[in-house]
Amino acid sequence: MENQTLEAVLTFASVLAVFVLAAVQLVKNTVNMPLNIVPIVGLVIGLLIGAAAYPFTILDVTLRLWAGGLAGLSATGLFELAFSKRPGNTKEC
């Protein structure tokens, strides 16, 4: 039973990630903001889209919020990993 719930949340998060990615890119291109708050914006957008997706799933609100949060963080990280060229190291020596 719990395995099926986790599988449903991860499946829903995978579907939501596409829409969250598009919404985050729209916000990034529209609003001038520091790069370090983009993951927070992705998380908030993911939570909002997850909560608003109630007609499309039978998941509880809590599970939809989890899926939206996961989608927001994964979509932001995926885009930054794939398309951002950041030279340098994480630590200055």
pLDDT at 19: 93
Helix or strand or coil: residue 74?
A: helix
pLDDT single digits (tens) 57-87: 888 899 999 999 999 988 887 777 666 665 5
- Name the pTM for this structure: 0.79
CB 64 within 8 A of CB 50: yes
pLDDT at 82: 67
pLDDT single digits (tens) 15-37: 999 999 999 889 988 888 887 78
Helix or strand or coil: residue 57?
A: coil
pLDDT single digits (tens) 34-62: 877 888 889 999 999 999 988 888 888 99
Q: What are phi and psi of 86, to 5 degrees?
A: -115, 105
Helix or strand or coil: residue 93?
A: coil
Q: What is the DSSP letter of 38?
A: H
Residue 60: both structure tokens together: 């509880």
pLDDT at 90: 47
pLDDT for 1 beyond 60: no
| 48, amino acid identity | L
pLDDT at 71: 92
